[in-house]
Amino acid sequence: MSLTLPASRLRTQVASIIEGTGSSPAEARQVADNLVLANLSGHDSHGIGMVPRYVDAAAEGGLKPNSGVKVVLDTGALLTLDGQRGYGQIVGVQAMELGIARAKAHGSCIMTLGQAHHLGRIGHFAEMATAQGLVSMHFVNVLSRPVVAAWGGGDGRFGTNPCCIGIPLPGAEPFLLDFATSRVAQGKMRVAYNKGEKVAPGHLIDENGAPTDDPGVVVVPQSNGLFGALMTFGEHKGYGMAVACELLGGALTGGGTWHRPADTARTVLNGMLTVLIDPAKLGTQAAFETEARAFVDWLRQSPPGAGFDEVQIAGEPERKARAARERDGIWVDDATWSEIMAAGAKVGVRITSAD
């Protein structure tokens, strides 16, 4: 069973629940718009299914509605920022606005953001940068229950630790690479579990460290009270990238790294190192535009391989999904919808599929 609902209705419903956590109407709407945009982009793992966790995190006190980003250090091209546990969809945007302004003024900006509540889809921040003609690189860690195993390890030791790179392309949509360093995002396992689906081999280990295809091992406690773990992509290479994201997004930002036993807290904190570059001030703008476009054109000239219709570049699947889902609606499984309705009830907001 499932529902297909228009994006406009979901924006309104989610905003009402977020406002119920104590957010101002403007903040609630911005958070809701961001979550629905993730669904529209095909990333349901970072979309409205996060609402129940946000409601619980606000009740715990780990998520603090109406908190803004705090400037700790500003030397122009260097920014150190504290998210003060505010909604990541708010403080992340505020941080990017500051960083973009500095990169436009100085040619580049290195920005750290610590103690932001769940930042959501990091590609959103890269889109902000590329819209201004900037290159952006983002390295993020996750302070929450450790759900990803170290290469050669048998339990979860860190988070899904995403990496994102945005590159503007002349006369075309940007290159937007946005990926978790686990083989799949934790949220995708929540979605699969709610849909009653199994996952492909090689993605998961169970609570005993053995391979499994059951996404529930990282969603709900198993018989011994423990959880399984996700595997990193690319074996030791993805593991190395995950560690780099922990060290850069967590240690370098001052936001902290994970090095303690898991708990049951619902709060999700992110640290993010962002590097912004303005090609116009680097002195390579003309060559950059010519060579970038030539390379992308060269890629597209490749004949499609078996099982494919064409060669795409990062960012294209998301843009296609947005057009289709804005037109046709957003699919929501019954389990996720029930969780969202229950989250609304916790803050005194009643929603139905007919609202």
pLDDT per position as a tens digit, 221-263: 988 888 999 999 999 999 999 999 999 999 999 999 999 988 8
What residues are paired with 232 via a beta bridge? 182
Give the whole-angstrom CA distance, residue 151 versus residue 66: 39
**Do 2-188+239-284+316-346 and 189-231 show the same overall fold?**
no
pLDDT at res. 354: 62
Residue 53, both tokens: 């966790």
E strand segments, the chain: 2-5, 70-74, 78-82, 108-117, 135-143, 148-149, 156-158, 163-169, 172-179, 204-205, 211-212, 229-230, 269-277, 330-333
Q: What is the pLDDT of residues 275-312, one digit of tens each?
A: 999 999 999 999 999 999 999 999 999 999 999 999 99
pTM: 0.94
Q: How confident is the model at residue 70 (pLDDT cuts 50, 70, 90)?
A: very high
CA dist 75 and 67 (Å) reads 23
CATH 1.10.10.10 assigned to 189-231? no
Q: Which long-range contacts (CB under 8 A, 24 or more apart) does 85-88 make?
A: 85/115, 85/116, 85/117, 85/267, 85/269, 86/116, 86/117, 87/18, 87/23, 87/27, 87/31, 87/54, 87/63, 87/117, 88/116, 88/117, 88/118, 88/119, 88/120, 88/270
Average pLDDT over all residues of the chain = 95
DSSP state of 215: G
pLDDT (tens digit per residue) in 322-342: 999 999 999 999 989 999 999
Please check the confidence at residue 214 and state whether its pLDDT lies above 70.
yes
Q: State which fold the 2-188+239-284+316-346 domain adopts.
A: Ribosomal Protein S8; Chain: A, domain 1 (3.30.1370)
Q: How far is CA 322 from the centre of its chain?
A: 16
Confidence of residue 168 (pLDDT cuts 50, 70, 90): very high
The dihedral through the CA atoms of 178, 181, 187, 189 has a sign that is positive
* Distance, CA of 67 to CA of 190 (rounded, Å): 28
Q: Where do the domains of the chain lie?
A: 2-188+239-284+316-346, 189-231
How much is the pLDDT for 20? 97
Q: Would you say 157 and 258 are in contact if contact means Cβ atoms under 8 Å apart?
A: yes
Q: What's the CA angle centered on 328, arms 323 and 130, to 5 degrees?
A: 20
Amino acid at 174: P
The residue with greater pLDDT, 64 or 191, is 64
Confidence check: pLDDT of 195 > 90:
no
| Cα distances (angstroms) measured from residue 25 to each of 30, 117, 119, 248 | 9, 19, 19, 34
pLDDT for 194 equals: 87
- Token readout for 38 is 């993730």
Task: Grade residue 88 by pLDDT with cuts at 50, 70 and 90.
Answer: very high
Whether 136 and 166 have beta carbons less than 8 Å apart is answered as yes
Nearest Cα neighbor of 160 from 104, 238, 85 is 238
96 pLDDT more than 70: yes
Count Cβ neighbours within 10 Å for each residue of 303-339 and write b for 16 or more, e otherwise: eeeeeeeeeebbbeebeeebeebeeebbebbebbbeb
The model's pLDDT over 124-162, given as tens digits with 9 standing for 90+, comes to: 999 999 999 999 999 999 999 999 999 999 999 999 999
Task: Judge whether residue 1 has pLDDT over 70.
Answer: no
The pLDDT of residue 355? 61
| Residue 207 pLDDT greater than 80, yes or no | yes
Rounded to whole angstroms, the Cα distance separating 183 from 119 reads 19
Closest of 108, 100, 118, 114 to residue 159, by C-alpha:
118
DSSP H/E element including 323: helix 316-328
Q: What is the DSSP string of 142-188?
A: EESS--EEPTT-SSEEE----EEEEEEETTEEEEEEEE-SBSS-HHH
